[in-house]
Each structure stands twice: as C-alpha cells, then as structure tokens.
Structure 1
C-alpha cells in the first residue's frame, strides 16, 4: 500500500495525457493531409519542439522529467513482440539481410544515440 502513496499519480496521468494528446492530434492532422502513418513522427517532433520552447522560457517541471525517465525505462518490454517479429522476418529475407540491418542501424541506433546525448546535455 505504501508503494501507491509514493507514486505521483498526477504527474503520471499528466505525462501520459500529454503524449496521447500530441500523438492523436498529429495522427488526426496528418490524416487530413492523407498520410496518417506520419502521425507518430509528427507528434514526437511537435512535442519535442513544444518542450524546447517551454524550456527556453521556463524550467521543465522535475515531476515531468522523473515520470518520463520511468516510462522510458519500463517501456523496453513493449519492444519484445517487435523483436520477435523482426527475427521471424529475418529468417525469410535471405540476401536482403544486410540492407535490413543497415536500415535498422540508421533508423534506430542513431536516433537513440542522439536522444541520449541530448538528455545528457539538457537534463
């Protein structure tokens, strides 16, 4: 019971609501342009821009930063089904595996590295 009292529920709900609002709003806006598949990317970039502008004038609340850090640590388990699907796809790719691995490196490792550098510098 003590664990539930230590959790900052308002910060958790606010952070999750902020993420959902930006994602769903971006999917809706990009749907009007005929490309709803770009909604996740546009939502991520727009949330980043809003937080950068916010940070320019005010400090980002520590509650938001702490909650975001906890979400990022715990969300690694969400990628397990994706990894299993990627492994199954690799088995059937044959000669296209080097291109697939190159795309994975460019689209996954490099953005994660940039995010880590930004987090280390700004947080």
Structure 2
C-alpha cells in the first residue's frame, strides 16, 4: 500500500492519454486513406516528431520522462505472448525460416540501436 502513495497518477494518466490519443487519431486518419493498419506507425512517428519539436524549444517535463521510462521498463512483459506466437509460427515456416529471422533481426536490432544512440545523446 505504501508503494501506491509514491505513484504519480497524473503523470501516468497524462502519458497514457497522449499515447492513446495519438494512436487512435492516427488510426482514424489512416482509415480515411484505407490503410488503418498503418495507424500505429504513423502515430508513433507523429508523436516522435512532435516531441522532438517540443524538445527543441522547451524542456520535456521530468514527470512525463520518468513515467515514460517506467512504462518502457514494465511493458517488456507485454511482448511475451507475441514471442510465444512467433515461435509457433516458426515451426510451420519450413524453408522460409532463415529469411524470416534475417528480417526479424534487421527490423528489431536497427531500431533498437538507433533508439539507444538517441537515448544516450538526449537523455
């Protein structure tokens, strides 16, 4: 119970609201272009662009940055079901496994490397 008193609920609600609003707005906009599947990517990129512009003129609130860091650490467990599903898919792929693993590594490692470089420079 003591731990709940130290949680900054306003920052959590603000951070999650920003993420949800950007995602839902982007899905809505992309569905107007008949590509709602691109909504997550467009939302992520537009949020990144907006925060980069904001950071150029003002400092991001420390409460928001702290909440985002906690959210990123805790959300790693959300990928466990995806990993289990991809393992089941790998079993049925046969000869396409090397190409799939190459694409998976490139599409995962490069963005993580870029994110690490950005985090090291800006945080």
How far is 1:112 from its partner? 1.2
| Counterpart position of 1:12 | 12
Note the alpha carbon deviations across 1:67-109, whole angstroms, 9 max, x for none. 0000000001100010001100111111101100011012111
- Single out whichever of 9-18 and 100-109 deviates more from structure 2: 100-109
Alignment of 1:48-63 (within 5 A): 48-63=48-63
How far is 1:114 from its partner? 0.7
Structure 2 portions without partners, runs of 5+ = none
TM-score by length of 1: 0.98
Equivalenced residue count is 123
TM-score by length of 2: 0.98
RMSD: 0.7
Runs of 4+ in 1 over 6 A off after TM superposition: none
| Counterpart position of 1:87 | 87
Tell me, what secondary structure is at the counterpart of 1:11?
helix
- In the aligned structure 2, how far is the partner of 1:23 from the partner of 1:96? 32
Alignment of 1:1-123 (within 5 A): 1-123=1-123
Tell me, what secondary structure is at the counterpart of 2:92?
helix
Structure 1 portions without partners, runs of 5+ = none
